Copies of this chain bind each other. A is one copy, B any other.
Amino acid sequence: MSAKKTPDIVIGRLPLYLRVLNQLWEEGRTTTNSQELGERLGLSAAQIRKDLSHFGGFGKYGAGYEVAYLREQLRRILHLNRVWPVVLVGAGNLGRALADYPGFRENGFEIVAVFDNDPQKIGLALAGLTVQDVAWLEAVIIEKGIQIAILAVPARVAQAVADRLIAAGIRAILNYTPARLKTPPDVRVQDIDPVARLQHMAYYLE
């Protein structure tokens, strides 16, 4: 009875499709097809078509896909037809690099507040923002209705900070700490874990 949910693994590929479409767009291309997309992504043409079919028919029989149209549809599906405000917690080396990174804003995410608990860092200017005392975390999230957080704090405080974020209304966390966060089912977490990635690759080396 209930419609089958689109698999999460499919959702995870859509941002990759979108990036390739952005590239094609910048190259001035107006149409493409599942074979070309597959080649650029290292996936099969069949998978591209299957993935897209979860959301409807975006192509033209015999002619492929219009770059601008498919790009727009993917942006709509992923809820990227707006800029999402994001809070960044942690203004250490990594947090500062993230605050300065223009790629977030260019792709739909704007860091609108940065927090730290270190008095040495509070008040610092960072990418046009001022580092705020983490004491105001909840107040800012609630006032601005923010749903997305980037977590770049020491691992030992990661869970405690995540709990506060979630209590204040955060529903998606980009987790740069190696901690495995315990979160309710309606909160999404994506781990950025470079050490685990290196260890994974080391298996194949001699």
Contact = CB atoms under 8 A, between A and B. Distances in A.
A80 B202 CA distance: 7
Contact of A174 (B41, B96, B100, B198): B198
A55 B108 CA distance: 43
A125 B13 CA distance: 39
A68 interface: no
Tallying the copies of this chain within the complex gives 2
A104 interface: yes
B42 A198 contact: no
Nearest to A86: B198
- Residues of A in contact with B, size category: 35 or more
A58 interface: no
Interface string A76-116: 01111000101000000110111011011001110000000
A142 interface: no
B171 A84 contact: no
Contact of A79 (B86, B96, B206): B206
A196 interface: yes
Contacts of A42: 180
| Among A11, A203, A206: residue with most chain B CB under 10 A | A203
Contacts of A134: none
A202 to B, nearest CB: 5
Nearest to A107: B195
